[in-house]
Amino acid sequence: MDSIPENRYYPGIQKTCEGGVHLEGSFGHEPNEGKLIIICHHNTTTRYSEGDLSAEKIATEPSFTKPAKKFLSGDVKSATGGVYYYRANKDKDGKPPLFYAGKAGNLFSRAGQKVRISDKDFVILVRKSDGLMDENWQTQLEHLMYEDLQTRKKVETVEVENKASVSESLCSDDEKEEIKIFFEAMIECLENLGAWD
C-alpha cells in the first residue's frame, strides 16, 4: 500500500462503516467559509478511502442518507441550500468520468434523490459553513462549476452530463467576486481530495 502524502489528507474522514464511505473538507475564510462532503454511493460493495479517492481501500457498504444528514445537521437544517456534483463512469471502458453540476434549495432532497444517484460513483455536497447560501450564490456557483467542467472536458479529463449552459446570477459584481473566491477555494479542496482523478 502506497503511503498518502500529508498534503492530501484532510481531517474529518470517517473511519467506520456506519454512515458509509465519505471524505469531508473545509475551505475558504470568514465570512464565506465553506464545507463539502464526498459521499461514495454504489449499488454494490464499495470501499473506504484512506485520505483520498485513489488510495488503497477496505470493503464496506455505503449509504447516502446517514452521512448527508450528519453533514447537514447541527447548526444548519436539512433544508440547507447549496450546490452539488454527481460523478459516474469512473474507470468504465477507459472513458473520462461523467460529472453533473447542480444547485439546490434543499441539498438533501434534491441531490439525494434515489433514482438520480443509483448509478453514480459519488455525490459531492457543498454548503456555506453557516448554512446560508441564497439563490444568487447557488446560481453563480452552479455557473462557475459548469464552466469549469467544460474547461476540463476540452482537455478530455471529464465528460459533462449537464445538457445546456448555465446562466450567471444577476447579483452585483462585488458579490460575484466573493463567490469566485469561494469557488476557487472549493476547487482546491476537491483537488486535494482527489475528486478529479
Higher pLDDT pick, 164 / 184: 184
Task: Summarize pLDDT for 9-51 with one digit per residue, the tens.
Answer: 233 333 443 444 678 889 998 889 999 988 875 533 334 444 5
Compute the average pLDDT of residues 147-151. 96
**Least confidently predicted of 71-75, 78-82, 87-91, 182-186:** 71-75
Give the position of cell 464565506.
32
Residue 136 phi/psi, 5° resolution? -60, -45
Percent of the chain with pLDDT over 70: 73
pTM: 0.79
Is pLDDT at 137 greater than 80 in this prediction?
yes
Amino acid at 178: E
Amino acid at 25: G
Cα–Cα distance for residue pair 196/119, rounded to 1 Å: 18
Three-state DSSP class for residue 125: strand
Cα–Cα distance for residue pair 71/125, rounded to 1 Å: 9
Task: Summarize pLDDT for 79-114 with one digit per residue, the tens.
Answer: 688 999 998 876 667 788 899 999 999 888 888 887
Cα–Cα distance for residue pair 181/80, rounded to 1 Å: 21
What is the reported pLDDT for 173? 95
Picking from 99, 97, 172, 179, the residue whose alpha carbon sits closest to that of residue 138 is 179
What is the reported pLDDT for 34? 94
Is the separation of the CB atoms in 54 and 62 below 8 Å? no
What is the reported pLDDT for 41? 59
Type and span of the H or E element at 27: strand 22-27
Cα–Cα distance for residue pair 94/192, rounded to 1 Å: 23
Cα–Cα distance for residue pair 108/64, rounded to 1 Å: 9
Mean pLDDT of the chain: 77
Residue 70 phi/psi, 5° resolution? -65, -40
